[in-house]
Amino acid sequence: MEFKHKSVLLKETIEYLKVRPDGIYVDGTLGGGGHAYEICRHLSPKGRLVGIDQDEDAIKAATRRLSEFEGQTRIVRSNYRRMKEILAEAGISQADGIVLDLGVSSYQLDDAGRGFSYMADAPLDMRMDRRQRFTAKELVNTYSEMELYRVIRDYGEDRFAKNIAKHIVAARERHEIETTGELTEIVRAAIPAKARMTGGHPAKRTFQAIRIELNDELGALQDSLDGMIGLLKPGGRICVITFHSLEDRIVKNIYKKSENPCTCPDDFPVCVCGKKPIGRAVTRKPIVPSEEEIAYNSRAKSAKLRVFEKYKKEEGEKP
């Protein structure tokens, strides 16, 4: 199956990134290379792009897509958590811009064999990096009822999380849950018939929650976004596209902390902690897709883009 993915908020991301022709850019979630290709189109022969993705199929597709920019691009199969080390291995200490397009790709959803989708029956997998041994099948069959409840409640934000977890545990006591189809039917049975009539597919939130937990998507973002901001050159920008309220909250809060890192109590007349602002959130409110984009790509509906710019001068002085 050919790797296809419609890049969300592509025009807006490139505009806010303000690509410098001779600059160094990093796409931490390379996918099919949509955002990376547009960045490369704006680069001069001196400009460089480093692309990172943990999905082998994405690496192959992006390598083909970016082949005309060979010599300017470096493509690495890894998690963006390792961005600092990956750049250091390439002799790069700072970047002019960074892009993250989070969540699952259209290809991963559409390829039934990957086990991300509740729309087709396939082995329960959901690994973004198939070098990882732990799969959705292992998660569903080994997590305790309380752990399943936590995952579905927190990452799926499903009001029926407790009942879904209970049904999963009851079903696996009869026999191991092996396929997406089996899990879908278990979730369906756990949700009242009246509730199934609204709010989209009944298994959507549970599948999303399991995928996020399995791939530690929120942990990767929480652990590395501060460091990515630190990798920016003065005046550099980072653009992060999220598809989940918890992802968006993490981005918003880390941007806010970078704008105002002071840890002094509110009643202190002056700052004594010495922590200075390192930049500003360019977008006070997130950029969302236009109606035209949503009509063209329904999966863009929940996308939010937030942009942060590092200050150009030292000690937090505004540019």
| Boundaries of every domain in the chain | 10-106+217-316, 130-214
The answer to whether the CB of 47 falls within 8 A of the CB of 73 is no
pLDDT of amino acid 4:
55
Distance (Å, whole) CA 114 – CA 247? 23
pLDDT the model gives residue 240: 98
Domain 10-106+217-316 CATH superfamily: Vaccinia Virus protein VP39 (3.40.50.150)
pLDDT (mean) for 68-74: 96
The Cα 240–Cα 284 span in angstroms is: 14
Q: Which CATH class is domain 130-214?
A: mainly alpha
Whether 50 and 62 have beta carbons less than 8 Å apart is answered as no
Strand-strand pairing, 232-242 and 95-101: parallel
Least confident of 48-52, 190-194, 273-277: 273-277
Q: What angle do CA 219, 222, 224 make, to 5 degrees?
A: 100
Q: How many CB atoms lie within 10 A of CB 43?
A: 20
Confidence class for position 99, pLDDT limits 50, 70, 90: very high
Residue 278 has pLDDT above 50, yes or no: yes
- pLDDT of 319 over the 70 cut: no
Residue predicted with more confidence, 123 or 283: 123
d(CA 212, CA 207): 9
For 115: left if phi > 0, alpha if psi spans -120 to 50, otherwise beta; the answer is left
190-247, pLDDT tens digit by residue?
A: 999 888 877 789 999 999 999 999 999 999 999 999 999 999 999 999 999 999 999 9
Q: Please, which residues have CB within 8 angstroms of residue 7's CB and are 6 or more apart in sequence?
A: 31, 32, 34, 35, 38, 101
Average pLDDT over residues 158-176: 97
Mean pLDDT value across the chain: 93
- Does pLDDT of 2 surpass 60? no
Please list, in sequence order, all residues whose beta carbon lies within 8 angstroms of the beta carbon of residue 145, skipping any fewer than 6 positions away: 165, 166, 168, 169
User: Where residue 314 falls among pLDDT bands split at 50, 70, 90?
Assistant: low
Q: What is the pTM of this model?
A: 0.92
Helix 204-214 × helix 217-231 angle, to 10° = 60
pLDDT, tens only, 118-165: 999 999 999 999 999 999 999 999 999 999 999 999 999 999 999 999
C-alpha–C-alpha distance, residues 215 and 235, integer Å: 32
Cα(first)–Cα(last) distance of the chain, in Å? Answer: 48
Nearest CA to 216 out of 246, 240, 241, 177 is that of: 246
**Which pLDDT value is given to residue 315?**
44
C-alpha 120/C-alpha 311 separation (Å) is 48
